[in-house]
Amino acid sequence: MSDILVVGSLAYDTISTPEGRVDRALGGSANHFSLAAAQYADLRIVGVVGNDYQDADLEKLRSRGVDTEGLQVREGKTFHWEGKYEGAMNEAETLATELNVFQDFNPKLPESYKNTPYVFLANIDPVLQIQVLDQVVTPKFVGCDTMNFWIETKKDDLLKVLKRVDVLMINEGEANMLTGQTNAIASSEEIMKMGPKAVVVKRGEYGFVLRSQEGYFILPAFPIAHVVDPTGAGDSFAGAFFGYMAKENKGFDLKTIKEACLHGCLMASFQVQGFGLTRLDALKPEEFETRKQEYLKIIARD
């Protein structure tokens, strides 16, 4: 097993869905990633929070063995996002974004982090992603995420990032925006030309498409009849994906990547069953294993 470095946001979210509303629920890409990944491997986190960030919320990470030396605490308020889901809840409507201390985030890696073999660059400014890549030393496996805002405003910087990562994890709408294509298959083909050795296109309730140099691997999502809150599902997918990769510690191995996608798909299925991080926070290993066996029966040919 090897360690993982994640660089991303820690936040408080206000979320409305047909299932209700929560105010200042614990969120952010690095938090969702970390609670998923920490079930597999040791984790190091780099991010920034304000002095309003609760000790109990930090303890959720530390109690799982997450190293928080790289977490900056600044005077001011923590990043806050407010969003609303309606209907099928396939996409959030952003109602408010308050960057607060995250606006001036400058990721500085402690010396002890610079040799971390597995590196995940969560959804942050691609300029900051490049800064992190310039600080890490010969990582074994690197992945990143992005979003429509960076595709629209900093595409040139994003393309520089893609030349330096092994895998891009991106949702279908953003993949289509990045490439100008209209479906996950065409988009993944174009993204492969941009530099990554593999791309995982996350398709929500429809699962994922993995495109690598060897071809495709496609699976449906685990069927969830009662979705409470989709926020963070993609980050939870990425966390389990990287957690499994670090646990196996084989670097870019296609068989391992396929299994990592399966674990990501399952972790996301738990994430959507509660607001914020509540479901992942309560997840037990035996629950995951039971669902995995159910999933294997669903996708079996006989």
pLDDT of residue 2: 73
Task: Give 85-102 pLDDT, tens digit per residue.
Answer: 998 888 889 999 999 999
Integer angstrom CA distances of residue 18 from 21, 81, 87, 228, 269: 8, 18, 7, 8, 18
Integer angstrom CA distances of residue 67 from 70, 159, 164: 8, 30, 25
> What tokens were used for 262?
């399966």
Task: Give 164-209 pLDDT, tens digit per residue.
Answer: 999 999 999 999 999 999 999 999 999 999 999 999 999 988 999 9
Query: Domains in the chain and their CATH numbers?
Result: 4-299 (3.40.1190.20)
Q: Give the CA angle between residues 221, 223, 226 to the nearest 5°.
A: 125
Q: Structure pTM?
A: 0.96
First vs last Cα of the chain: how many Å apart? 33
Q: Give the CA angle between residues 64, 55, 245 to the nearest 5°.
A: 25
pLDDT of residue 199: 98
